Structure formats: structure tokens, C-alpha cells
């Protein structure tokens, strides 16, 4: 969510593709069916879980009726897994044995509702946190194995490379899972082997980075913001404390989190495994489990003086960070629990799950306990599970009474800019009226890819702030980019406050006025999404690329223009400053993340399965966009006629006028022969290396118009095919697969 000061923003467009978030839509229940050939599948999964933790091959998995063959399945979880359980948590990898996905999702994680008779804790905790940071989405799923209904699960978005790319705009940096007990981030010395046991390294490298983080927490806390996203960390800690989610870094096990080092070189904490929230897990340290009354009055500064939790102790030892932390916790409580809005949300979730819970034969509580646990504490065997409202109503009252919450924070109002639509490369004054403050700062950045930096605001009469000491604070800001993103933070010796309240996750924006490219002046002209053998970049790599074409007779500047393959993040990559396209000329960007090359490269690649390409500015104005379908290897998707026509599949015409006939065909005539070409409707195909296995004919839009495999009753090296009578004359692409070779050839049909 972004708050805008300048209201003239634009809606980009309606996406033409379905995104993976739909698989986690909060008001839906997914249906997931698994079928194993082996009747003893449960024994096999148990054995794998307790042994090498490998995936078992499921013959097929159906998701909402869509079937996927050869899928990897295994049990997951620690305390939630038990070989005696009928319903164990599941990890399903659609692409473990073959490439496939459902709405972009390949990795499915299903929790079994262990120790949560309400069934709503995990879904609610993930969704509430979306207002404050980056977290998985979650909803419900009904699971079936070999035709038997196993029960209702929580369907949680896995933290994968796709997740990292979506939230942090990269996935190739250090990525660590704090899965095992003892992931406390204490510095143990400069020997990576000391860190192997508690932590799981999810990236191919990163132990040095992890050690540097731990070292800095202990020995360089003043430089922490260069290594750790402190604000995201404060939100993370404040949320798990406020909601009594102790099966986390805050609990005695100090685990259940990810950390990812983003492109700015800073680690970001990511929540995980929230089914123990709202007091289900009740051990904050190595002492006894806390009772529900003790959980209600859990101190907001838990572990602030305990060296076993350096992420809490050393960060909250910095007075400003502690004030920010309490400000965030106040926001969490006031927006969800003090006003009781969470209660309506949990009722909604229970209504969604109700029928599925009633019919769940393997739930860990009863249906009556499902209904009651919203308000009433439930006993499940040896486990005491607090009623959610019983816990949080008392917790809200307690936190409001604490010394930390009672401190009086400054008041911020009247945030304004001296120019609501300034010219680029000018300056503006941003001001705010603030009372009861000792220090006022402005958090500032130019786009979502950057980190915020804080600058001191003044009430001295020299910074656009009116008279000295009039309670109006100001600062001069250089408008060096199309958009400025900012927030105000004020504090006194006792408390701090943000505006907007959810900063840095939310922020204000100020758009600049600049001479940008108008729609139609520069167009996306050609896209190569599967480059196997055609054109190499300067480093000899066959990478994806996108070609732009200047339709005007004047040079066009690409300053401040963004390129993206994601409609939810249109500002994903910005062109370097100073680039231009000559009149009626071409400009190619390699989409291969090969930044070591001398050409222009963006930090992402295109999907051969089809996606979106977008040219836009940060203010939301779109220069051009195109959605492209699944692509043909070594064939581009481009405008024909060049620069103005519809998109068609064509031979690559790198930095040249698009043509349907300009392909340079590298054909070994000794391997495969196709004749006649042009054809009047009959084609003969001959393979020198074995029988013809398969032929596929596509039109210029990439659509299959004719397909055959092992066409004759006896496969032969030479086969003749009569093309469908309805095919019109024109350009087609024929893919011929022999036993050892595959050829893609342009075919001209001339009836």
C-alpha cells in the first residue's frame, strides 16, 4: 500500500496473466489430490522423513482439477509431524521430477493444523502482516491422498527464489533458513563450520556473509543499517511479540525465520511457520512454559537484556531503534486489536473453513473446539491453547498500560511539499508540523529498489519551514528522479512516531514533471525469450533480449525509463542515464543478468512460458507493454510490419528491420531434408540419422496448426505429409524431430 501526496497517478493496465497470488486468495479453499501407485505410501513417506528426507514420486497430483504427472511429495515439519498422525504436513514440489507449475506456483507447503483447533492462526497471522512487511500469503486447502479425504490444511506460500524475486527483486544473493533450534545470530568466530549445524544455507554461498552479520550485531551495531534492514527487523520483532508468536526467533528455540541479503547488501528477515502464534507455543526461554495469564502480560521488550538473543538485545540497546520498535508495536495493536478489527477477520476465516473443518476426519480437535477457540481456551491433550480473543483483549489492555506504551510521542501533521509537481533537477522543501519532538528526520529514496536514508529536518527558519521555533520542520530535497518516496519520523527522549504510521513499508510519494517518452514514440519491437543457438552477447552467452524501436525522426532519451516483466513491479529495472535511441533506430537490452558484459543488461530474464514486458515511468505512465505467449526456441516475438504491426513469431532480426523471411538458417543438409519449399500443401521430410519421430507446424503467432508423431504404422526415415486443406498461404515454422537431431525450418505455403 502506498500513500500518495500527488493524486495524479495512473492505472497501468489489467494483467492478462493469472498470478500465483490467486492460488493463495484468502476467500478460497484449494482442492489438492495426490495419488501414489504404492498402497503403502504412508510408510514410504514416514521412512523418507526419518531418513534422508527425499521426495517420493506421486503418479499424479491434481490441483483444482488440473492434473500434473510425476510430482515430488514428502512430509515436512518438526513438532507438527508424527509418524502416528494420519494427517501430516506435506511438501509438494510440482517441478521436482519434471518442469511444471500451477498458476506460477511450483512449491506447495501444507500445514496440518497441529495444536490449533481454531484452524485460523496461521492464515490470519500471515495476512495481517502484509500491512507491515513482506511475508507469505496463505489460505486453506482440502487434501486427498489416493481418494481419501485427509482433512483441511493451511496452504502457505513457500519462500522460494520466486518469492525472493517478487519481494526483493533478486534471488541470487545469500539466503539462509533459521530452521533448527539455536539460530540466534550470535557471533561464534570466523570459522564457518561453527554455523553449519543450526543454520541451513539455501543459496550456493553465503557463510562469510552470515558470519559478517553475526559479527556486526555484536561488534558494530552503529553500522548495522548497512548490513541489516533494521526497520524490517523491528517490524518482524514487534509483530511476533505483540501476537505472542514464540515459535520464532523470540522463543527458546530461536528459529523459524529466513534471512535474505538483497541487492543493497542488507539482510531482510522473513517470517515463517506461524501456526504456533497467539500463544500456542508458550516457551520464551529455557524456563517452564508460560500460562495463558503470563502470556497475556508478556513484556514488550522480551529479551532486551539477554545476550542469547543479540538481534533483540543489541538492536534495542540503541535508543532510537527501541523507540521505533515500540512505535511499530503500537501501530500493530491499534490497527488490529485495540479496535477489534482482527475479530471480524477471524470470524470471516472460520466461516470460510467451517464446512471443511466439520468434515475433516483427522483434525486435532473437535468441531466444537474449532468454534470455541476464537474466544475460549481449549485443552488438547497436554496442550493448553489460548482463546484468541481471550488472549489478545487482555494483551491489548496490558500493553497499553506498560511504561513503554505510556510514553508520550510527538505529534506529526501538515506534511507538505513546496511544489506538488516539481520540475526534475530542481529542489523542493518538504515540511511537517511537529510538536513535542527533540529530533525530526525525513526518510528519503527515489524508488522502491533503493534503501531509505534519513536526513535531519530543521525548525530554524532557513529550510522552507517558516519562522524559527514555530513547530514547522523543513528540509530541501533535490528532485533528481521522476519520483521521491519519503516518510517523517519524529522522536523525543521517550518515544517516537512515524508518518505514515506503517513506514518504512508505507511511504508518501512526490512525482516530478519531466519530458518523458510519449506513447507510440518508442515501442517494444521484438522479444527473444528462448535463445539457444542464435545471437550471443559480448561474453559469448545466448541470453534473452528485448529490442526497442524509435518511431520518430528525432533522438529519444531513455533517462528515467523502467523495464519490467512484472505488472506488480513495473519499476523493476531502470535504464542507465545518458542512453538514447537514434532517429528511427533500434536499441537492444540483454535480459540475462550478465552485468559483466559491455552491452546494456537488465537484471532479469524473460520466461519462455510467456509473460509481460512493460516500459514505464515511476509515476505510472506506460510507454508500451506487451503480453507474449509461450515462445518457440530461437524464434522471436516481434512487430510485423516493423514498429507498427501486430506481434507475430519470426526469425530473429537483431537491431534490424523485422522480417518474416530474413532468417539465417544454419541447416545441415546431411541430417534432415524438407522439400519442396515453398510447398503447395505436401511436405516430404527425410532424416539421415534415424526415423522421423515427430513434426510440428506453427503459424507466425506460434499456434500449432498441424502435429504428428510416428505418423506411419512403420516409422521411416522418409515420410510425406499432406497439410490441412484449411491452411492459408503464408509463412509457417516446421519443427522436425529425428532420433538424434531436431530442426526448426521456415516453410512457405503457396497454394
- Pick from 359, 368, 345, 371: which is nearest to 142 by CA? 359
- Cα angle 507, 510, 514; round to 5: 145
- Residue 661 is predicted with a pLDDT of 60
DSSP one-letter code for 461: S
Whether the CA torsion 142, 129, 351, 371 is positive or negative: it is positive
> What pLDDT was estimated at residue 295?
98
Residue 437 pLDDT: 98
Is residue 237 helix, strand or coil? Answer: helix
Cell of 614: 512493460
| Count of CA atoms in the C-beta half-sphere (13 A) of 582 | 3
Cα 219 from chain centroid (whole Å) = 32
| pLDDT score for 74 | 98
Q: Under the phi-then-psi rule, with left for phi > 0, alpha for psi from -120 to 50, and beta for the rest, what region is 439?
A: beta
CA angle 267, 249, 80 (to 5 degrees): 120
Domains by residue range for the chain, with CATH: 165-328 (no CATH), 411-511 (2.60.40.10), 522-650 (2.60.40), 672-749 (2.60.40.3080)
Sign for the pseudo-dihedral over CA of 296, 351, 362, 96: negative
- Cα–Cα distance measured from residue 378 to residue 367, given in angstroms and rounded to the nearest whole number: 12
pLDDT value for 503: 98
The pLDDT averaged over each successive group of 10 residues in the chain (751 residues) is 33 32 90 98 96 96 97 95 97 96 95 96 98 98 98 98 92 94 95 96 97 97 96 98 98 97 97 97 96 98 98 98 98 98 97 98 97 97 96 98 98 97 94 98 94 98 97 96 94 98 98 88 96 89 95 94 88 90 96 81 89 88 92 89 89 88 45 79 81 83 78 64 84 80 77 71
Alpha helices in 176-260 (DSSP H): 207-219, 230-242
**Among 671, 628, 567, 626, which Cα is nearest to 12's?**
567
- CB neighbours (10 Å) of residue 361? 10
Amino acid at each position: 500500500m502506498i500513500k500518495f501526496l500527488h493524486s495524479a497517478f495512473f492505472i497501468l493496465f489489467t494483467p492478462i496473466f493469472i498470478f500465483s497470488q490467486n492460488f493463495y486468495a484468502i476467500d478460497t479453499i484449494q482442492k489438492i489430490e495426490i495419488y501414489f501407485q504404492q498402497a503403502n505410501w504412508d510408510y514410504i513417506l514416514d521412512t523418507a522423513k526419518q531418513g534422508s528426507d527425499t521426495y517420493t514420486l506421486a503418479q499424479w497430483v491434481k490441483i483444482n482439477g488440473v492434473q500434473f504427472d510425476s510430482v515430488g511429495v514428502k512430509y515436512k515439519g518438526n513438532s507438527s509431524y508424527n509418524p502416528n498422525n494420519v494427517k501430516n504436513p506435506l511438501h509438494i514440489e510440482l517441478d521436482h521430477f519434471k518442469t511444471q507449475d500451477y498458476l506460477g506456483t511450483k512449491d506447495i507447503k501444507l500445514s496440518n493444523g497441529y495444536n490449533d483447533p481454531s484452524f485460523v492462526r496461521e492464515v490470519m497471522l500471515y495476512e495481517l502482516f502484509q500491512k507491515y512487511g513482506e511475508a507469505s500469503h496463505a489460505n486453506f486447502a482440502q487434501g486427498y491422498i489416493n481418494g481419501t479425504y485427509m482433512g483441511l490444511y493451511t496452504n502457505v506460500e513457500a519462500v522460494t527464489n520466486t518469492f525472493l524475486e517478487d519481494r526483493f527483486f533478486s534471488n541470487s544473493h545469500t539466503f539462509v533458513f533459521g530452521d533448527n533450534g539455536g539460530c540466534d545470530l550470535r557471533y561464534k568466530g570466523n570459522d564457518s563450520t561453527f554455523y553449519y549445524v543450526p543454520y541451513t544455507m539455501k543459496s550456493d554461498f553465503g557463510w562469510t556473509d552470515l558470519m559478517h552479520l553475526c559479527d556486526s550485531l555484536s561488534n558494530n551495531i552503529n553500522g548495522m543499517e548497512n548490513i541489516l534492514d533494521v526497520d524490517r527487523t523491528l517490524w518482524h520483532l514487534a509483530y511476533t511479540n505483540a501476537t505472542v508468536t514464540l515459535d520464532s526467533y523470540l522463543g527458546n528455540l530461536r528459529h523459524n525465520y529466513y534471512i535474505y541479503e538483497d541487492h543493497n547488501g542488507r539482510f531482510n528477515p522473513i517470517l515463517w511457520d506461524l501456526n504456533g502464534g497467539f500463544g500456542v507455543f508458550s516457551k520464551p526461554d529455557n524456563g517452564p512454559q508460560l500460562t495463558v495469564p503470563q502470556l497475556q502480560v508478556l513484556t514488550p521488550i522480551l529479551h532486551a537484556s539477554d545476550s542469547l538473543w543479540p538481534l533483540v538485545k543489541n538492536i534495542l540497546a540503541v535508543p532510537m531503534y527501541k523507540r521505533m520498535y515500540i512505535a511499530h508495536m503500537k501501530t500493530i495493536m491499534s490497527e488490529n486489536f485495540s479496535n477489534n478489527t482482527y475479530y471480524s477477520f477471524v470470524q470471516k476465516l472460520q466461516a470460510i473453513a467451517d464446512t471443511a473443518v466439520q468434515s475433516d476426519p483427522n483434525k486435532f480437535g473437535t468441531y466444537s473446539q474449532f468454534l470455541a477457540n476464537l474466544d475460549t481456551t481449549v485443552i488438547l491433550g497436554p496442550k493448553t491453547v489460548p482463546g484468541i480473543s481471550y488472549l489478545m483483549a487482555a494483551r491489548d489492555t496490558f500493553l497499553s498500560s506498560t511504561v513503554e506504551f505510556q510514553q508520550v510521542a510527538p505529534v506529526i501533521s501538515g506534511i507538505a511539499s513546496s511544489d506538488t509537481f516539481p520540475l526534475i533537477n530542481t529542489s523542493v522543501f518538504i515540511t511537517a508540523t511537529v510538536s513535542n519532538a527533540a529530533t525530526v528526520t525525513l526518510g528519503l529514496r527515489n524508488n522502491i529498489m533503493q534503501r531509505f536514508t534519513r536526513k535531519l529536518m530543521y525548525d530554524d527558519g532557513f529550510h522552507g519551514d517558516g519562522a524559527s521555533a514555530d513547530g514547522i520542520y523543513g528540509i530541501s530535497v533535490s528532485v533528481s528522479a521522476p519520483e521521491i518516496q519519503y516518510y517523517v519520523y519524529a522522536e523525543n527522549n521517550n518515544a517516537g512516531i512515524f508518518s505514515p504510521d506503517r513506514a518504512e513499508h508505507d511511504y508518501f510519494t512526490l512525482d516530478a514533471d519531466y519530458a518523458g517518452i510519449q506513447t507510440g514514440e518508442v515501442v517494444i519491437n521484438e522479444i527473444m525469450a528462448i535463445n539457444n543457438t542464435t545471437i550471443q552477447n559480448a561474453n559469448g552467452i545466448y541470453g534473452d533480449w528485448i529490442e526497442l524501436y524509435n518511431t520518430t525522426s528525432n533522438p529519444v532519451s531513455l533517462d528515467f525509463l523502467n523495464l519490467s516483466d512484472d505488472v506488480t513491479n513495473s519499476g523493476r529495472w531502470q535504464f542507465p542515464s545518458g542512453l538514447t535511441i537514434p532517429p528511427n533506430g533500434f536499441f537492444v537490452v540483454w535480459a540475462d543478468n550478465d552485468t559483466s558484459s559491455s552491452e546494456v543488461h537488465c537484471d532479469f530474464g524473460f520466461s519462455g512460458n510467456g509473460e509481460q514486458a512493460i516500459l514505464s515511468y515511476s509515476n505510472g505512465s506506460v510507454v508500451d507493454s506487451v503480453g507474449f505467449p509461450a515462445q518457440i526456441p530461437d524464434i522471436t516475438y516481434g512487430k510485423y510490419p516493423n514498429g507498427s504491426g501486430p506481434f507475430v513469431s519470426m526469425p530473429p532480426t537483431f537491431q534490424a528491420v523485422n522480417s518474416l523471411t530474413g532468417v539465417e538458417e544454419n541447416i545441415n543438409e546431411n541430417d534432415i531434408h524438407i522439400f519442396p519449399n515453398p510447398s503447395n500443401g505436401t511436405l516430404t521430410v527425410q532424416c539421415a540419422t534415424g526415423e522421423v519421430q515427430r513434426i510440428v507446424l506453427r503459424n507466425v503467432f506460434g499456434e500449432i496448426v498441424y502435429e504428428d508423431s510416428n505418423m506411419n504404422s512403420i516409422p521411416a526415415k522418409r515420410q510425406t505429409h499432406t497439410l490441412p486443406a484449411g491452411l492459408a498461404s503464408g509463412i509457417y515454422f516446421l519443427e522436425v524431430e529425428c532420433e538424434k537431431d531436431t530442426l526448426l525450418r521456415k516453410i512457405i505455403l503457396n497454394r
